[in-house]
Every structure is written in C-alpha cells, then in structure tokens.
Amino acid sequence: MSDIYSVLNVNTNKIIESGFDKKADAKTKRNELCKEAWTKWSTKVKTEKDLKKPYPYIIVKGKEHPRYE
C-alpha cells in the first residue's frame, strides 16, 4: 500500500490517517471523520443561510505522491 494521499486534521495540523492509493478512499475516510461536525452544522444552517460546510479534516498529498518537476 502506497502513501499517495493522507487525511490531515486542520486544527492540530497532524496526519490522522495515511496510506491511501486512491483519492476516493481518502475522501470516504474524511467524510466519516467529518460526520459529527456536519451534524452540528446542519442544525446551525437553518438559522444562518450563508454558512459553508465545515471541513475539520482535509485531504493532502502523501509522501509517495508523484511530483512533477
């Protein structure tokens, strides 16, 4: 398993999970981790229309991601 994509916690700036070959797999893991924040957001969005969906976890390039020079 190669480390092409990783999931990063935005608040602590630490890698939570790494070793994803496909970006879709990393997105699935990110969505699982963000689920709690999104439920809090969905109750708040009813009162404030301009809020954007929060992403406390994001996808970043891993150590083995191909770099183009």
C-alpha distances in angstroms, 44 versus 10, 14, 36, 48? 21, 27, 13, 7
Burial of 30 (0-12, 13-18, 19+ CB in 10 A): buried
Residues lower than pLDDT 50 in the chain: none
Can you read off the two tokens belonging to residue 16? 């939570």
Q: What is the pLDDT of residue 42?
A: 80
| 49 DSSP assignment | T
First CA to last CA distance, the chain: 24
Residue boundaries of the structural domains of the chain: 5-61
Identify each DSSP E strand in 1-69 by its residue range. Answer: 5-9, 14-20, 57-61
Q: What is the pLDDT of residue 5?
A: 94
